[in-house]
A and B are shown apart, each in its own frame.
Chain A
């Protein structure tokens, strides 16, 4: 490659003519010294170009430098109670519009970026995007595969929900459009299915987190399986040094408060996130929850209390858009004081000192009645807790003995 020089300077004609005049010399000296010119045919040039493309290592280095693709899983708390209370400040529809803009920004960052949206409804959690495949859609796909010769109706990726795309959508970037369509139709469906009698003030945040984790796990496995050498086991014990191809994070938009009934499942998901180093970001729009604070603290995520819900989009864009790779270079907003106090299992009182059953690790604010653990029913030996320190009574006998000794001493 070094002998192929662009003949821009010195005028290419003269050396070219020289080479043509002495073809034997060129054959003898295929590697001319000191910048003499070699004539290359167009075929040679294309060949060299191909070689360069094949063996240059630039290509591989570039992929290493590139930041890995990022998977964002948004958990949207769709608890109708809480959204109704918020209605004058931020109706759910405009919140969804904000989220769509945020998702578009995320997708625009990197071509390979992915997104998933999960609704944490009251009492259940469902995927909003990607749309869960149903029997009907899969049947379509399988028939399309089986008789490929037949003329198959083109099915949109959003499962035919966008039957009549308005003219305003015509110029929209297609991935944006798909996500938006799928999400809005799924939310619509979810709200239609919600019956008044099934309304409760809780939200299935633990289920949504579990779904998010399993989805992230699957996507990570799929991303890693592209590399043949990488180990795709679920525990991830052996592939510590494998290159990261997909970084994931979870963003929870929370509007509900009390989550105490899901304490253990939420904690389990938090520890799983910790092990997999998946940050959990929290945008707390309304309500108050200690667990979510602890979740973002334990997983090194971002916790932002959204004080002005009207400006949700700005909070999202400024606070949560950076992916885990770029967060290494940024100072992210988070809060300093985290409430770590525990709630006792007997009265749900928040305590800073309590009693713990050694068998089941239940926390009590005072020794339980009859010293029987309320959770596991074990009889607990109480120890000496809560008693007034005893003062050892003076032993008269000893004194007498000592006195006697003294007397004896003096007598001696």
Chain B
């Protein structure tokens, strides 16, 4: 097992991860849930690595972040921005396991709250509902709505109730189907299952339910906590044929991986090509009707001196937003006007989703050769941190610097091989549109948080003067 662990750390490819999961699943099934964790103690010392001189390599941490960035696909895809998602939480006795601290159940609830917040952060005009699987029944935890605080309040109330009985996949799926049935055609219909059990106790034939889900274009994604289960595999492969099973059915290895998998689901799913419907053959994706023009209101905020009742909760509030069609007062946005049914949003909510549609392109690693061509750039453009100087490197590797590609790779072997994953040997990363060099911190920050290229945004005038241009299809800064 030690071997496979270190393999995983070393190249961490998707393939390796999935193989890892399968072994784990098989083991867990064979050994039973109570023994499944004995061979899986945390081994933090495996993550520490020494470099050639014997010092602990610090850049591995950076590399990990970098790899995360690399996995991100930056092709601009049509995505289902307006989503309807049902989160199904396992509340059966299997969730009492303590392989994730404190228990699977409490950890899941904690992560679910973070998920709700992040989901509405990323998808402000989407709807979410939560269903629990407890004691063989499906239990509605919170109704489908667009208000994160409602969901979080409901999640906090079910903390007190102990997990009980078995989970019933069929009941939960039927209830989700009923909740998603009315969703408009231009939205996605998704079910996200957090499944800790190794079985499903169902009242009827679950395959009929799966067929019904597939007919209703509902896509199901499962995050397992224990092992891969055949029925979940069938479920995801039947309900989203356009997505590989390794993406739609994942098993969490530990709590950090669990959080990562859960947070990955907050990104809106790409729309499958067959969505643009050719009469009736629209089986491929959650979106059935394709594109629609939606009528929306952009209300302005008002502050009254005296409180008045809001139309949504009938509570006295002094601030709020007036519906632009019927002037009813609602307390929070985004929401649907309770009187006339107009969708009320802020333009900032729409803008929040734009970075999914216009992703920032990945920056290229800069070789020493390329770095030597630009001796003027000695520091990161955006944070002014100095780069390792090119002269030093040339002194190190002598004449070999010319063919930095093969020469050094054979010399330093493994280390160089790891660097290929996405670490730049010169510590520089170049935006292909504006040809500016950045450091790794700025690279990760720009791609994860800002979604802007500092170079493209602040050098437009310079670019015009110098007559440089991007690589043709560069993202237009002005959008």
Contact = CB atoms under 8 A, between A and B. Distances in A.
Q: Do A and B come from one complex?
A: yes
Interface of A: 121-127, 130, 132-135, 138, 142, 198, 204, 206-208, 210-211, 213-215, 217-219, 221, 232-235, 237, 261-265, 267-272, 275-276, 294, 298, 336-343, 351-361, 363-364, 367-368, 371, 373, 376, 378-383, 385
Contacts of B391: 142
B298 A268 contact: no
Contacts of A126: 458
Contacts, number: 238
Contact of A267 (B290, B348, B383): B348
Given A123-B460, A265-B457, A361 B357 contact: yes
Contacts of A272: 449-451
A352 B477 CA distance: 27
A358 B383 contact: no
Interface in B431-475: 439, 441-442, 444-446, 448-454, 457-462, 464-465
Interface stretch (B17-25, B214-222, B371-379): B371-379
B457 A210 contact: yes
B301 interface: yes
12 contacts: A124-B460, A132-B381, A211-B458, A214-B446, A262-B478, A268-B451, A352-B300, A355-B293, A355-B294, A358-B186, A381-B292, A385-B295
A117 B17 CA distance: 46
A268 B450 contact: yes
A284 to B, nearest CB: 19
Contact of A353 (B298, B352, B477): B298
Contact of B347 (A340, A353, A378, A379): A340
B301 to A, nearest CB: 6
Given A214-B450, A263-B351, A358-B292, A124 B346 contact: no
A216 B298 CA distance: 33
A352 B342 CA distance: 12
A325 B464 CA distance: 42
B358 interface: yes
Contacts of B464: 123, 198
A379 B291 contact: yes
B465 to A, nearest CB: 7
Interface string B383-398: 1111001010000000
B445 A214 contact: yes
Contact of A383 (B293, B296, B347): B293
Closest 4 A-B residue pairs measured CB to CB?
A207-B458, A123-B461, A342-B347, A125-B458
A371 to B, nearest CB: 7
Contacts of B389: 138, 142
A336 to B, nearest CB: 6
A380 to B, nearest CB: 4
Nearest to A361: B350
Nearest to A360: B357
Contacts of B61: 232-233
A353 B297 contact: yes
Contacts of A125: 457-458
B386 A218 contact: no
Interface in B344-371: 346-348, 350-355, 357-358
B325 A265 contact: no
Contacts of A214: 382-383, 442, 445-446, 450, 454
B289 interface: yes
Interface in B234-266: 259, 263
Contacts of B294: 355-358, 383
Given A132-B379, A271-B352, 9 more contacts: A142-B389, A204-B457, A206-B457, A214-B383, A234-B449, A357-B291, A368-B293, A378-B276, A381-B291
A342 B353 CA distance: 15
Contacts of B380: 218
B290 A381 contact: yes
Given A357-B293, A360-B357, A265 B300 contact: no
A237 B111 CA distance: 12
Contacts of B465: 198
B81 interface: yes
Interface residues of B, number: 76
A342 B292 contact: no
A351 B295 CA distance: 12
Nearest to A385: B295
A100 B251 CA distance: 57
A215 B383 contact: yes
Contact of A268 (B299, B354, B442): B354
A359 B324 CA distance: 23
A267 B386 CA distance: 29
A356 B291 CA distance: 10
B378 A138 contact: yes
Contact of A373 (B291, B357, B439): B291
A358 B81 contact: yes
A124 B354 contact: no
A235 B448 contact: yes
Contacts of A133: 378-379, 384, 386
A235 B458 CA distance: 23
B458 A340 contact: no
Contact of B454 (A207, A336, A351, A383): A207
B102 interface: no
Contact of A341 (B291, B292, B347, B357): B347
Contacts of B450: 210, 213-214, 268-269, 272
Nearest to B391: A142
B368 to A, nearest CB: 16
B300 A341 contact: yes
A353 B383 contact: no
B347 A382 contact: no
Contacts of A376: 78
B279 interface: no
Interface string B289-323: 11111111111110100000000000000000000
A50 to B, nearest CB: 33
Contacts of A381: 289-293
B86 to A, nearest CB: 20
B400 interface: no
A49 B164 CA distance: 61
A120 B55 CA distance: 43
B448 A264 contact: no
A380 B292 CA distance: 5
Contacts of B478: 261-265
Nearest to B352: A271
Interface in B273-287: 276
A298 B346 CA distance: 12
Contacts of A217: 383, 441-442, 445, 449
A132 B384 CA distance: 6
Contact of A218 (B121, B355, B442, B479): B442
A146 to B, nearest CB: 10
A217 B447 CA distance: 13
A382 B295 CA distance: 10
B301 A338 contact: yes
A124 B358 contact: no
A328 B186 CA distance: 44
B449 A358 contact: no
A354 B289 CA distance: 21
Contacts of B296: 353-356, 363
Nearest to A207: B458
Contacts of A352: 297-300, 324
A142 B386 CA distance: 11
Contacts of B303: 336-337
B407 interface: no
Q: Output the residue of A213, A232, A385 with the most chain B CB within 10 A.
A: A213
A219 B186 CA distance: 44
B466 to A, nearest CB: 12
Q: Output the residue of A132, A208, A234 with the most chain B CB within 10 A.
A: A234
A294 B450 CA distance: 17
